[in-house]
Structure 1
């Protein structure tokens, strides 16, 4: 518990804070947090798209995401 948490909780808040930490610890490690992203279709992997793009004259970084216009051109060609 940090000093800020102690200051904000006061005397009775310690019990509530301990209970909250217990709940957080009991959460399964695989349980996702935040927004889930799912794709309805199976896309080609980035490596395949980047290899195709380089072979067809597109300039693509070796790292990072594939730009949307390149992915669209790849989808149209295949």
Structure 2
């Protein structure tokens, strides 16, 4: 007998299925939260929290939180994408995640 296991990724914010959903952990008032988001919705979360992250003091990593993802082997680093974006007149932050729209533009240009 054969088995077929199918994994369906769903964005917690929209409820939509997607091929790319990542789990993100954040905490507020001592409570840790975990949410699965497509890159576009993570960009929204990061944009909303950005001013508070910039002004806040780091307290260390949340226990059990996944470590930051690195660029895939052979893929461009965040700094490479940022440098290209700036050369194209696209505004990007010096820190944090490079928005998926900018990465898509980079990939389309290369």
More strand by share: 2
**Larger C-alpha radius of gyration, 1 or 2?**
1
More helix by share: 1
What TM bracket, shorter-length normalisation? Answer: 0.3 to 0.5
TM-score with structure 1 setting the length: 0.48
TM-score with structure 2 setting the length: 0.35
